[in-house]
Amino acid sequence: MVVGEVATETEVLVIGGGPGGYVAAIRAAQLGKDVTLVEKDRLGGVCLNVGCIPSKALIDAAKAYHRLAREAERGIVVEGARLDFARLQGWKQSVVQRLTGGVEQLLRGNGVTVVKGRATFTGPNQVLVENPGGGNEVYRFKHCILATGSRPVELPGFAFDGIRILDSSDALTLDHLPLRLVVIGGGYIGLELGTAFAKLGSEVTVLELADQLLPGTDPELVQVVARRLRQLGVKVHTGVRVLGWEEAPGGEGVRVVFRPEPRGEGAAGAGAPGSAGSSGSEEQAVVADAVLVSVGRRPNTGGLGLELAGVELDERGRVKVDAQLRTSQRNIFAIGDIVPGPMLAHKASREGIVAAEVIAGLPAAADYVAVPAPVFTDPEIATVGLTEEQARQQGYDPVVGRFPYAANGRALTLGERDGFVKLVADRESKVVLGAGIVGPEASDLVAELALAIEMGATLEDLALTIHAHPTLSEAVMEAAEAGLGHAIHVLGKR
């Protein structure tokens, strides 16, 4: 196709085939639009291929393998169990292929045209697509949805090489289990993968700059995870700055150098949840076979020609959008990791639906009041809505209801007694404002609480809803009862 002479017309052009992009494309097609989706790599994006799905497959396999050693107390004695890491990776990839193949079928079934290539704007209504096999194509659109995702942040001095210095995608595609693993960054990605590798047999050390693991998460929830990490033998250093790395003497791995970060008076320091007690100012070092760098992600907004399309970015390189996900160029929308807000696949998917419906003329807008945030550590953490402190900062007088897993019959039958459900509500109206769960299946239980916040439910609504017995979900009901002051299965203040 000759540039400037012939262009393919489409009503809606979606750039990026991840959880935001492919959902947006399907919804727009359902609403009667002619849709073209351009993806430079693999359908499903980072999430399905090298992120959410393969990591959870690895995490669940690691949980099963590690649990074998704990089953003797329940009368199940397993002898001679061993880990076949190559076979585990093969199974994990089969799960990925099943899901990505399903995405392709869904797009085809909904009449979406899928184009392989890299798209670059040449104007506010046109892109140039570079095909991987050579040659370019021009597409002219009425509306465009940007869904180009994000990539790992690379620390200075820690260039990713896929062998010794790994990003999260590299860690998920290793062909062998590292005997010693250093994780730089104690956020959700680092702790999820670090925990999985520890359960599979790696010696894991976590280095985190902030004063606690999972910065920004309720410290009460983090304390339970930190305790489990210690039980797994994971060494954790919070409040430390990584200085660099070098080859270990004799070529025996990588030597990572770090030191405690100076803090102001009263800082949490070594006493923070998850800290191994790093103190003083002297440099320390740890030797490992591989280093996983997981210090955040940055939006993929470079190299798209956004300036030619009239799309503005903020100071952090994210696309500026309004409540309907419109950019500064009103026929171009942006969703997912490239716009402000948490980088979560389910947020991107919802934004994709909103953008498609706005394009179709429906009254839609993004609503971030109840966006659940799961962390697949051991035990899991899941939060939604406001924390107790955030509620207080917004002018509420919060009341808190807690219920421990140790008092839940189903949790005990699972051999899981650590964790609790914590509900935050307005003291006067009892309307649920937020929730935090730490414990098994927290990522599933949080859905009920997201719905409660979305619909404006009260603690009484949750307490009056009959929950099946014996189930973990009863802990939600009992936490609501605790918030109302009449918990049944825990002793309250008299």
Instruction: Tell me: is residue 345 an annotated ligand-binding position.
Output: yes
Residue 103, judged by CB atoms within 10 A of its CB (0-12, 13-18, 19+), counts as: buried
Instruction: Tell me: is residue 347 an annotated ligand-binding position.
Output: no
Instruction: Tell me: is residue 302 an annotated ligand-binding position.
Output: no
Instruction: Tell me: is residue 296 an annotated ligand-binding position.
Output: yes
Beta-bridged to residue 373, according to DSSP, are 383
Instruction: Tell me: is residue 148 an annotated ligand-binding position.
Output: yes
* 455: its two tokens: 């619909």
**Per-residue DSSP letter, 122:** E
* 129: its two tokens: 């697509």
Instruction: Tell me: is residue 246 an annotated ligand-binding position.
Output: no
CA 46 to chain CA mean position, Å = 11
Q: CB 67: neighbour CB atoms within 10 A?
A: 13
Task: Give catalytic status of residue 469 as yes or no.
Answer: yes
Length of the chain: 494
* 156: its two tokens: 């200075």
Instruction: Tell me: is residue 186 an annotated ligand-binding position.
Output: yes
Interaxial angle between packed helices 219-231 and 188-200, expressed in degrees from 0 to 180 and rounded to the nearest 10: 20
Residue 77, judged by CB atoms within 10 A of its CB (0-12, 13-18, 19+), counts as: exposed
Q: Which helix (H) or strand (E) holds 400?
A: strand 398-404
Instruction: Tell me: is residue 346 an annotated ligand-binding position.
Output: yes
Find, among 213, 221, 181, 220, the residue nearest to 62 by Cα.
Answer: 181
Instruction: Tell me: is residue 189 an annotated ligand-binding position.
Output: yes
**Angstrom distance (rounded) from CA 271 to CA 101:** 48
Instruction: Tell me: is residue 454 an annotated ligand-binding position.
Output: no
Instruction: Tell me: is residue 22 an annotated ligand-binding position.
Output: no
Residue with tokens 């702790």: 191
- Among 143, 237, 469, 486, the active-site one is 469
Instruction: Tell me: is residue 344 an annotated ligand-binding position.
Output: yes
Instruction: Tell me: is residue 1 an annotated ligand-binding position.
Output: no
Find, among 12, 21, 13, 15, the residue nearest to 336 by Cα.
Answer: 21
Residue with tokens 């940007």: 146
Instruction: Tell me: is residue 208 an annotated ligand-binding position.
Output: yes
Instruction: Tell me: is residue 101 an annotated ligand-binding position.
Output: no
Instruction: Tell me: is residue 143 an annotated ligand-binding position.
Output: no
Report helix, strand or coil for 386. Answer: coil
Instruction: Tell me: is residue 187 an annotated ligand-binding position.
Output: yes
CB 382 within 8 A of CB 446: yes
Q: Which helix (H) or strand (E) holds 118?
A: strand 118-123
Instruction: Tell me: is residue 18 an annotated ligand-binding position.
Output: no
Q: Which residues are catalytic?
A: 469
Q: Which residues are annotated as a binding site?
A: 56, 148-150, 185-192, 208, 296, 337, 343-346
Q: Which residues are annotated as a binding site for NAD(+)?
A: 185-192, 208, 296
Q: Which residues are annotated as a binding site for FAD?
A: 56, 148-150, 337, 343-346
